[in-house]
Amino acid sequence: MDENIKELIKIPEGLDNAILKGFEDGKKKNKGKKRINIIKRSTIAAAVAIASITVVGVVNPKIVSAIPIVNRVFGYFDNSGIGFTANKYEELGEVINKTIDKNGTKVTLDQILVDDNTFIASFTVESEALRGFEDMKNPGDFFRPDIDLRINGEIPGSWEWRHTVRIIDDTKGVVVFEGDISNSNLQDDLEVDFNIKNIERAGKVIAKGNWEYNIKTTKGINSETYTGDRKLKVDGGELWVDSLVKTPISNLLTINGKYESGTNETLELDNLEYIIRDNKGNELITAGLGGHSDVGGNYQRKIKILSDLSNVEYIEILQYERAEEKSIRREMNGINRPLLICTETSTDNINRKEEVISREPTKEELDRGYGLPSVQYALNINRSKSFMQIDDLKGKVIKTSDNSDVTITNVEADDKATKISMKIEGSYNYKNLSSLVIFDEDMNDTCRWEGHEGAVIENIETKEFSMTLGAIDKSKKYTIGIPMEKESKYNEESKIVVSLKR
């Protein structure tokens, strides 16, 4: 092959090898033919290589990843909804870029990632069947892919599968699928069967599959495993860190326990919650994957640590009783509701009062599935200082507890939606931000709806989050309420330390 061709168009190595093989085969069959134009010849060769990759039943990610693709699916998420790892997903993911068209619905599997904790796939769905979706409040309802995942012929013993959808236009959406595979004990060489059986909306099939992908790959993301420094005696038994599996894209903490004899009925360990801190005392952002206990006295809990651990020397795991839950609640008609503290012109808490407001649910709320006879809120508010223009809400600090506060960093409002951006300082559970409510001076509320995806992680490391609600009248004055918390009491002597030093 003429080396000038390679220098001229800078073909990536993996693709270059595929093109080279095509040229060499062509030479054997066409020795008598004249050499064609360099650029034209290279373009045809690239097209042949791409076509051959697309039609094969088993995808070779190493060859496909050599094809330069400008736009990746992960780029549409821009770190929203899947945390700080969106860029890492795009960087470390193996490019598949294979499209399957069935009955007018095109599914393109873009990238996959596999480590010891998680299987991740990104793909697009394009179909006229998606047209007509009007509920733009809920991008997660645009469609739901019915997915079947098998690795080396087996369904992973998963704690959690989830997918996140973003709307591109009336007929196109993008998806990130994440599946916990930590119980699978996978070897390095993998055969992944990723099957999208149907595309559904509101429980109905709107596009029939199957869109089946068979991918031979390797578990190419290295992991490190750590254990705790001790077994911790607690009421009803003992706890220990079975493992912390750390990779560039995920961190999974597994806590095991054993009940003492005679305590199985009360299951004391099931009432425990955990706070995880780094060596600088920063509380890390986590997401619980759930857990289980059995009559034999065995207990297990799995926790995803979303914060980056690459520069952390050690972590501390502290436990507290679920009865000592951090959020402050008020009982109303038999239901415990969060106490919302509202923005105001100062944070001195002078003249604040607790109020309860109530209204009947709207027809739209009932149609969406709201099942209670009334919508009620418990508020901590000073009405004389709470309401202000939208622009004046920016920069306001809400003191959520003695050791934490939330700053409103931005408010974006148009005729379709209102996005509140926030930054947490101190110890505050970001999931509480999903209960954010906007009130006008007449106490009309703008709140989350049934099926709302809740607060979105914008940046894990800087603790920036956002909450998007319905449209508001920008000419009015508003206040923003979020749940208050109390400072939980931890026994600093009763903790497990996991060193991340090698």
pLDDT digits (tens, 9 = 90+) for 201-213: 978 999 998 999 9
Q: By three-state DSSP, how is residue 454 classified?
A: coil
Long-range contact pairs involving 162-169 (C-beta distance under 8 Å, separation at least 24): 164/77, 164/81, 164/82, 164/140, 164/453, 165/139, 165/140, 166/76, 166/77, 166/81, 166/139, 167/133, 167/136, 167/139, 167/142, 168/76, 168/124
pLDDT for residue 70 is more than 50? no
Query: Which of 64-68, 162-166, 247-251, 382-386 bottoms out in mean pLDDT, i.e. has the lowest?
Result: 64-68
Residues of the chain with CATH 2.60.40.1640: 224-325+490-499
* Fold classification of 73-218 (topology level): Immunoglobulin-like (2.60.40)
- pLDDT at position 387: 96
Whether the predicted model's global pTM rises above the 0.85 cut: no
Residues of the chain with CATH 2.60.40.1630: 73-218
- pLDDT at position 62: 40
Partners of 262 in beta bridges: none
- pLDDT at position 246: 96
pLDDT in tens, 183-195: 888 888 999 999 9
The architecture (CATH level 2) of 224-325+490-499 comes to Sandwich (2.60)
pLDDT in tens, 21-62: 443 444 333 433 333 332 333 333 333 332 222 223 334 444
pLDDT in tens, 234-269: 877 889 999 999 999 999 999 999 887 555 444 556
Residue with tokens 């050690």: 314
- pLDDT at position 139: 73
What is the mean pLDDT of the segment spanning 313-326?
78
Residue with tokens 């597994």: 254
Rg (CA), the chain: 27
- pLDDT at position 120: 94
pLDDT in tens, 324-351: 566 788 988 888 899 999 998 766 666 7
Q: For 118-246, list the strands marked E by DSSP.
A: 118-126, 144-151, 161-169, 172-180, 189-201, 204-218, 224-226, 232-234, 237-246
| Type of residue found at 423 | K
Q: Name the residue among 455, 497, 49, 449 with its Cα closest to residue 244.
A: 497
- pLDDT at position 454: 86
- Taking the C-alpha atoms of residue 163 and residue 41, their distance in angstroms, rounded to an integer, is 42
- pLDDT at position 16: 44
- pLDDT at position 106: 98
Interacting residues of 54 by C-beta distance below 8 A, sequence separation 6+: 98, 99
- pLDDT at position 254: 95
The helix (H) or strand (E) run that includes residue 127 is none
